[in-house]
Amino acid sequence: MKPLHRLNQQRGPTDMRAAIWRRVLATSIDFVVVPGMAMLVMLVTGVIENAEAWVDGFPWIRVFLLGVAGYLLVNGMLLFRSGQTLGKWLLKIRIVDYRSGETAPFWKLLAFRAPFFPLLHGALIGYWYLLLLDAVFALRADRRCLHDILCGTKVISMNNLNTGE
């Protein structure tokens, strides 16, 4: 494995990998926006508003599904059209198929990538090691997280490739 400080030095004019800082910032934007949408879904539907929702302890499955619903409400159309989340759209990066470089199939993004998003919030309640396990893979030369590998995708920059980004 190459040292991290050499990753940017190796980038040539055809290297389209998204910079790690862009991926982190895009994820941070989604991390803030998506729960707001999930809360809105919860308030509108009343899914876990009443005391009965808490009878058997914390409603993990409901909260997970609210997270996925919020993720899709915020990002669904962008993912379908261009392989981007709101954060990725703002940072000018996108998800593409690893082999073809085309926009990744929507079903793959739903089946393999969307369920990873709630792991970010799981880190806040003690499951930080799951997020670390996913993210540590991005330190490799191809900058693909575990969810990228499982989904057969990569994240690329849409900026002018000559900027050295």
pLDDT tens digits for range 45-81: 777 666 666 677 777 777 777 777 888 889 999 999 9
Whether residue 152 is contained in a domain is answered as yes
Which domain does 106 fall in, by range? 17-159
How does the average pLDDT of the chain come out, rounded?
79
Instruction: Answer whether residue 91 shows pLDDT above 90.
Output: yes
Whether residue 71 is contained in a domain is answered as yes
- Nearest alpha carbon to residue 98 among 157, 151, 158: 151
Total of domains in the chain: 1
- Nearest alpha carbon to residue 112 among 86, 80, 142, 148: 148
First to last CA, the chain: 21
Whether residue 12 is contained in a domain is answered as no
CA distance 55 to 109: 34
Whether residue 3 is contained in a domain is answered as no
Find the mean pLDDT for residues 22-37: 89
Contact between residue 138 and residue 23 where contact means Cβ atoms under 8 Å apart:
yes
Q: Which two tokens stand for residue 153?
A: 């995708």
In terms of pLDDT, which residue wins out, 110 or 82? 82
Whether residue 8 is contained in a domain is answered as no
Whether residue 2 is contained in a domain is answered as no
Whether residue 10 is contained in a domain is answered as no
CA distance 160 to 165: 9
Helix pair angle (60-82, 20-45), 10° resolution: 120
pLDDT in the model for residue 83 = 92
Instruction: Answer whether residue 1 shows pLDDT above 60.
Output: no
Instruction: Answer whether residue 5 shows pLDDT above 70.
Output: no
Whether residue 99 is contained in a domain is answered as yes
